[in-house]
């Protein structure tokens, strides 16, 4: 199908590499005006590029000032891998993401779509509900205390897992938040994807990642993920709200079957 998002103005964070770059390419090919946001300058497949550090609230606020109105879609894709310090990781992957999203709501057009790029790593969110609720009040200034209290340090990649758990739960909780304006929020959860940060995951997860690799037929590619993101941004999905779509070659189903003895 061509022209899936024709005429739509869509912001893609992390647009310079990996899933974000392929999403920008695919959306442009499908007729969208893509506004890219990243730390690394890359003008490929974007109408406008904005350099921004999503770990810095001041930079986010400046970005919010300069982005235009009438935005039809937001792809929250920017993130750092689990090898990064927990403080930085939670700033980018959760706190900065939320700050940007809430700040952009007034600039979103009625009927806009927000797509969060979560992860298979967040599948166990029901077992982290207390920490997720505590993160409702999390901000840039109180991260270290939160990390210590809820044991979400970078050890074993726990901060990454928690950020994705919280992101999926946040998606579900915002199923109707902006329903009066027709604004919807959904998420996509990739499994292991062959991007520049795949090595960080293998390094962090060790034997667990090796076991997953044996089960899977292949790692995913950005080309597997971008069309699902575009689908959620399109007018075909206005009745999909607060939904997380696993896009992982069957790994999520494998986990569920193993959990329930199927």
Mean pLDDT of 75-90: 96
Q: What is the structure's pLDDT at 101?
A: 98
Query: 201 pLDDT exceeds 70?
Result: no
Beta strand 108-117 with 33-38 is: unpaired
Mean pLDDT of 120-136: 97
- Please report the domains of the chain, with CATH numbers, ordered by start residue: 9-259 (3.40.50.720)
Q: In the structure encoding, which two tokens stand for residue 181, read together?
A: 């304006």
pLDDT band of 2, cuts 50, 70, 90:
confident
Q: In the structure encoding, which two tokens stand for residue 126, read together?
A: 């029901």
pLDDT above 70 covers what percent of the chain?
94
Of the CA atoms within 13 Å of residue 132, those in its CB half-sphere come to: 20
What's the whole-number average pLDDT of the chain?
Answer: 94
Q: What is the structure's pLDDT at 25?
A: 98
pLDDT band of 217, cuts 50, 70, 90:
confident
Q: What is the structure's pLDDT at 213?
A: 67
pLDDT band of 214, cuts 50, 70, 90:
confident
Which of 56-60, 80-84, 197-201, 236-240 shows the lowest per-residue confidence on average (mean pLDDT)?
197-201
* Residue-wise pLDDT tens digits, 48-72: 999 999 999 999 999 999 999 999 9
Query: 19 pLDDT exceeds 80?
Result: yes
Mean pLDDT of 82-88: 95
Question: What's the CA dihedral at 183, 133, 247, 236 to 10 degrees?
Answer: -10
Residue pair 76/116 in contact by the 8 Å Cβ criterion? yes
Q: What is the structure's pLDDT at 219?
A: 86
């Amino acid at each position: 199908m061509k022209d899936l998002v024709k005429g739509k103005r869509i912001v893609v964070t992390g647009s310079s590499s990996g899933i974000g770059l392929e999403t920008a390419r695919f959306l442009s090919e499908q007729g969208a005006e893509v506004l890219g946001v990243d730390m690394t300058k890359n003008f490929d497949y974007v109408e406008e590029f904005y350099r921004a550090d999503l770990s810095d609230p001041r930079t986010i606020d400046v970005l919010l000032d300069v982005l235009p109105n009438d935005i039809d879609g937001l792809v929250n894709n920017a993130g750092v891998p689990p090898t990064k310090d927990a403080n930085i990781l939670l700033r980018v992957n959760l706190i900065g993401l939320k700050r940007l999203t809430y700040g952009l709501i007034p600039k979103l057009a009625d009927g806009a779509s927000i797509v969060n790029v979560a992860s298979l790593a967040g599948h166990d969110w029901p077992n982290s509900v207390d920490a997720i609720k505590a993160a409702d009040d999390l901000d840039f200034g109180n991260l270290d205390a939160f990390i210590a209290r809820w044991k979400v340090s970078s050890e074993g990649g726990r901060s990454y897992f928690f950020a994705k758990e919280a992101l999926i739960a946040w998606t579900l909780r915002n199923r109707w938040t902006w329903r009066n304006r027709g604004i919807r929020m959904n998420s996509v959860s990739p499994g292991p994807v062959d991007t520049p940060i795949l090595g960080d995951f293998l390094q962090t997860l060790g034997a667990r990642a090796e076991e997953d690799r044996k089960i899977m037929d292949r790692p995913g590619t950005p080309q597997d993920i971008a069309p699902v993101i575009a689908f959620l941004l399109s007018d075909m999905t206005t009745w999909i709200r607060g939904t997380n779509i696993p896009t992982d070659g069957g790994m999520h189903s494998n986990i569920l079957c193993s959990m329930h003895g199927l």
